[in-house]
A and B are shown apart, each in its own frame.
Chain A
């Protein structure tokens, strides 16, 4: 009966994804195509910007911004695409990227380039039509050249900051701490108070604004009366613009309904018209109106601020009353209809953003950073899961689209029912949902918001990758600092000199040969961190001042808590809390390298500084044996060995110390204050940062990628996932309020049967208990196994388990590796 093992059989391999048969209907099937098609670009925003700011040039900037939003929402092309039930687009295309002024700086050189043109490049392609190319070349580039925020910033930032805070302007592009990301463009990162609009409508907000506007004429606040009045006026213009925008859609739907010949669609369009007449101006009355209202607000926010990461907050919490009303109480629709609408909503989230060739080369497939948080605890510490939580998980399972990113908050009281569904979703290998653990999460938020109470901390949700945020009371300026810990260590070893370009960029922290003990290294590391973070804070402060002056956001302000009460824009410190995010990268490489220095140089004296620096200078070429000693002869982070994990904790503690210190220095913060909070986030920047860091004592070769986020260096975690978890649990995450993700790799066999689902659920509960903040699972696909066959050095830690047999995949012979791939393919049988 047995078949002969044949290599040919393993060429086409599958996964759970292929075994899953979605049950969505024809409408969703067609709409889903919209979410995954190649995006186009849209220039309408630029056309309006060119006109409006000119037209209102004598008005205060905040009024200009409101007028811009008004004009843009009035003039932009609107569509209701076939089959759609939830309507409204950020731009004029089915799936499109909005082009913003700052894009000229790179698009000009990449457009029509034989390799880098967005339509030609092999990744993250965008279609740009010939007439759009012409308009870009002839009208848009010439107009914006030299007139963007980035140009303005470059002209006013002093040379010292240019040299030390911005990689783009520094004579050494490899500086360890970068504040570049907010150089041009608006801030984005809004987590609006959707709940308020669902219950009060925009008209309710308008009434509130009018109330505050009437209060401004009090005699005791005479210094900023004019600014406040302008602010409230701008808010009113924006809110009116949003209401008018929804009305445009209602009119369009009515118009299309009149022309529609198919009775079913005609009815749908009539209903859409009715929905858009009601929301978001008025309170939502049912599930459909609630979804439409949230989406329309999201569209308007995205039109006001073109930048990333406008998140939905605790979606299942504020949406549940409307689901309950429609499906459970009034029974005006059934579960399947509610699901269909949510699927329509999901599909709408899959917009795109055009980025430069250099950017996408290292960071492909990144979406708009829309995160939707679900589950967790209620304010009073009870379980928060509800039918909408389940509906979101079902939608994710059905659609398998990139956005919105879903974050499932879990705590000890999360019911098995929801956790099981989330785990089944993991099995499909979309990397969704991410699991956010309340035990550590609440501790972290407590650090970020010590003034608040536990009820408020329990309300946290995700903004961006993994960053905690208290919805609509915090303005999260997240991408303020990107630091590479490994570069700091390199500077310590070279006494402040960049190993790549040889320039003296950092302070002189001493020739390491003179260090008597490892404490010398610690002290030097600390000095370098404080030096660079200070510059970073200064640079960030300068950019913040310009950004908030250029791009205030009156509409977003109206949906936050604080700005209306204070009469100050959300970008200018109006929100109750303002945070600045400092991202740290290269943690594991730094920790492992410190471990090597400590053990081999100071403790065992097997290695001298001279030998080490020579080997590093040679990028380990010709030092194979020494490199193997550094790799294998010293315990590494990720194996649950205290001696190694303590170094990772040291790195983060040092960073947290520097941020705590900056928060006490008024002159390092913008005039309205705020506080710095840390995160261990690298995204896919590991590749880019790898080019900025020379070779390292842990055997890292320039320019290979650094380890991502909290993960161990690739191939160094040899004791399985529980050991990684234990190592990560030793990090001082409670001091880094923004958190950081931990990626775990699972082989499909690990999650093959019903029993395995139970196991992964219990594993998740154990992780929560250990005090990890965030995990997400990558299910190793057979594609990845094939890659591991080709590049074994990158997959040293890839473990495969078959029955009681465990092996490192790369240690197996080719035939056996193909056997494993074969098993991956046939996992469905058992």
Chain B
């Protein structure tokens, strides 16, 4: 299908009113780890998985959430009287929100000049997103980059995702989708025409273990991967490496064996554990399930890289 066809089908960047907006967590320009070239990365809110190592916990729920950053608080107290549910207090000068009372109305955020309170998740339309992504068009042109949608799960709302991807394509922007793969085939299939590549997470090959770590079985994820590969859409397989959870040689080998069977695999990215998401758990007053888990040594990572490469797969350490 040519660009012209897309334009006719989608009416340019215009999209139908239904399925034309979604909660966006953040838009980061000039990223280099999310596909070829330099890319703008959009994180959406809402994910069917709840991985215990998730580094963006604020992306899991589908509704807006209140982020609290006591370090930025200047203790002016303006937020306390405006809260309709009296959920905010400043015991010992530390900004505290009673989560059981908070209804995320955002009134406190409006009066907080220091940005110590923040709503996570803003509704954005496709037009707004396209405008934002187009700002770096020249950078994409020279670096062969584009946009990567991620999250959360970018295909969680498949209708929206389809419209969004069409809109990007209508502007001639290269599109990448960073997905967990847990998407009904019926929703996934129509998007394939508008996706230049997938970053496809495979977190564990054992369905039981997968369920234990992420909350869902891997059946659909693996069958989708096969089906996408059969349609020849490029796949970057991504393995988050969590020591003691999914980094056994057996599991790595099983993942490689599976990846090797996918015709359109470009490379395998291995992503060693980091604890950078901990601050985000704190701002949501949630417990970080794998706090203190030891990090990898360089040698250990290189060892895993060698295993992947022994399967004839290109392996990149995304650290």
Contacts from A to B (Cβ < 8 Å): 1-5, 624-626, 628-629, 631-633, 640, 719-723, 726, 749-750, 755-756, 758-759, 762-763, 765-766, 769-770, 801-807, 811-813, 815-816, 819-820, 823, 826, 829-830
Contacts and interface: CB of A to CB of B under 8 A. Distances in A.
A13 B33 CA distance: 24
A271 B186 CA distance: 82
B135 interface: yes
B178 interface: yes
Contacts of A749: 319
A720 B78 contact: no
A823 B272 CA distance: 12
Contacts of B30: 720-722, 763
B296 interface: yes
A815 B30 CA distance: 26
Given A1-B300, A722-B29, 5 more contacts: A2-B295, A3-B297, A625-B113, A749-B319, A766-B138
B169 to A, nearest CB: 21
A763 B276 contact: no
B277 interface: yes
Given A759-B143, A766-B138, A719 B78 contact: no
Given A624-B74, A803-B318, A1 B143 contact: no
Contacts of B55: 805
26 contacts: A3-B295, A3-B297, A4-B294, A5-B294, A629-B113, A631-B113, A640-B135, A723-B135, A755-B32, A759-B38, A759-B143, A763-B38, A769-B138, A801-B32, A801-B33, A802-B274, A803-B318, A804-B271, A804-B318, A811-B69, A811-B71, A812-B279, A815-B275, A816-B275, A823-B319, A830-B319
A588 to B, nearest CB: 19
A624 B302 contact: no
Nearest to A750: B32
The number of chain B residues touching the other chain, given as a range, is: 35 or more
A5 B141 CA distance: 41
A1 B303 contact: yes
Given A816-B278, A816-B279, A762 B298 contact: no
B243 A2 contact: yes
A803 B301 CA distance: 14
> Which 6 pairs from chain A and chain B are nearest by CB?
A762-B143, A628-B113, A1-B300, A762-B142, A803-B318, A629-B113
A410 to B, nearest CB: 12
A819 B316 CA distance: 20
B276 A812 contact: yes
Given A4-B294, A829-B298, A803 B74 contact: no
Interface string B95-115: 000000000000000000111
B38 A813 contact: no
Interface string B279-314: 100100000000000111111111100000000000
Contacts of A804: 31, 33-34, 41, 150, 178, 271, 318
B12 interface: no
Contact of B277 (A805, A815, A820, A829): A805
Nearest to A822: B295
A754 to B, nearest CB: 11
Nearest to A630: B113
Interface in B173-187: 178
Nearest to B56: A805
A1 B299 contact: yes
B136 interface: yes
A811 B279 contact: yes
Contacts of B316: 830
- Max chain B CB contacts within 10 Å: which of A801, A805, A815? A805
A719 B29 contact: yes
Contacts of B82: none
Contacts of B19: none
A766 B30 CA distance: 12
B104 to A, nearest CB: 20
Given A803-B271, A812-B279, A819 B295 contact: yes
